[in-house]
């Protein structure tokens, strides 16, 4: 696969699981911004210490800091531009920044009904998965993700994929979308 893939979807959509298996199937590096933040925080890097301050205050990590971590990761692990991105970009500023790093992007959006997302997240039983918190997280995701999805939809590189069902069936749907995108870009 000669492209960079952005795997997106609401919390509980299965994007992390699908991003990991997609990366394994195609032998590509997988960048999860959550894992990236934890890596920098654990290593005590300057970026990690700054990110931790924002997280401790209950804020999102600012775009410029997230972008710096992503640039560093891509330069070290995916200089050829072939990578699976999970949880990034999350804002239009991040979309614009990513455009300076990668070309040939394909965006796969896992679509799952809100009631199913609520059920999945509550079933996980984490402290941040309580019913009210879940509803709030899903609301924030819907509000914040729409401009990013709209930007990629306008570029005609967004593929909405049904995120319900067997993990292998979802993986096949993702691979089919990627094959279609690859065929579009073939000479």
Show the domains of the chain with their CATH numbers.
4-179 (3.40.50.300)
Q: Is 127 annotated in some ligand binding site?
A: no
140-to-133, 136, 176 alpha-carbon distances in Å: 11, 6, 30
Q: Is 14 annotated in some ligand binding site?
A: yes
pLDDT of amino acid 61: 85
Q: Is 13 annotated in some ligand binding site?
A: yes
Q: Is 136 annotated in some ligand binding site?
A: no
Q: Is 15 annotated in some ligand binding site?
A: yes
Q: Is 126 annotated in some ligand binding site?
A: yes
Q: CB–CB of 89/155 below 8 Å?
A: no
pTM: 0.88
Residue 7's pLDDT band (cuts 50, 70, 90): very high
State the Cα–Cα distance between residues 174 and 154, nearest whole angstrom. Answer: 20
Q: Is 94 annotated in some ligand binding site?
A: yes
Beta bridge partners of 131: none
Q: Is 148 annotated in some ligand binding site?
A: no
Q: Is 90 annotated in some ligand binding site?
A: yes
Task: Provide the terminal-to-terminal Cα distance of the chain, rounded to the nearest Å.
Answer: 15
174-to-21, 51, 77, 90, 148 alpha-carbon distances in Å: 11, 32, 23, 20, 19
pLDDT of amino acid 2: 63
Is 169 a residue whose pLDDT tops 60?
yes
Q: Is 100 annotated in some ligand binding site?
A: no
Q: Is 66 annotated in some ligand binding site?
A: no
- Which of residues 20 and 122 earns the better pLDDT score? 20
Q: CB–CB of 154/166 below 8 Å?
A: no
Q: Is 104 annotated in some ligand binding site?
A: no
- Which of residues 182 and 23 earns the better pLDDT score? 23
Q: Is 152 annotated in some ligand binding site?
A: no
Residue 44's pLDDT band (cuts 50, 70, 90): very high
pLDDT of amino acid 126: 61
Joined together, the tokens standing for residue 89 give: 């970009």
Q: Cα 108 vs. chain centroid, distance in angstroms?
A: 9
- Which of residues 22 and 133 earns the better pLDDT score? 22
What percentage of residues in the chain have a pLDDT greater than 90?
63
Question: How confident is the model over 73-132, as pLDDT tens digits?
Answer: 999 999 899 999 998 999 999 999 999 999 889 999 999 998 899 888 888 766 555 677
- How confident is the model over 135-139, as a mean pLDDT? 81
Q: Is 60 annotated in some ligand binding site?
A: yes
State the burial class of residue 133 (Cβ atoms within 10 Å of its Cβ: 0-12, 13-18, 19+): middle
Question: From the CB of residue 172, how many other CB atoms can be counted at a distance below 10 Å?
Answer: 13
Q: Is 71 annotated in some ligand binding site?
A: no
């Amino acid at each position: 696969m000669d492209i960079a893939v952005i795997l997106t979807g609401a919390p509980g959509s299965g994007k992390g699981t699908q991003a990991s298996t997609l990366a394994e199937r195609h032998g590509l590096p997988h960048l999860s911004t959550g894992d990236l933040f934890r890596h920098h925080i654990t290593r005590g890097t300057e970026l990690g210490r700054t990110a931790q301050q924002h997280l401790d205050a209950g804020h999102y990590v600012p775009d410029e800091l997230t972008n710096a971590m992503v640039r560093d990761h891509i330069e070290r692990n995916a200089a050829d531009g072939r990578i699976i991105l999970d949880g990034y970009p999350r804002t239009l500023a991040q979309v614009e920044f990513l455009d300076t790093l990668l070309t040939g992007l394909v965006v796969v959006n896992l679509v799952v009904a809100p009631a199913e997302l609520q059920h999945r997240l509550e079933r996980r039983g984490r402290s941040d998965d309580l019913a009210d918190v879940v509803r709030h997280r899903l609301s924030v995701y819907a509000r914040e993700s729409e401009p990013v999805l709209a930007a990629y939809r306008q570029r005609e590189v967004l593929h909405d994929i049904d995120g319900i069902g067997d993990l292998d069936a979802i993986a096949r749907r993702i691979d089919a979308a990627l094959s279609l995108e690859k065929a579009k870009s073939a000479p």
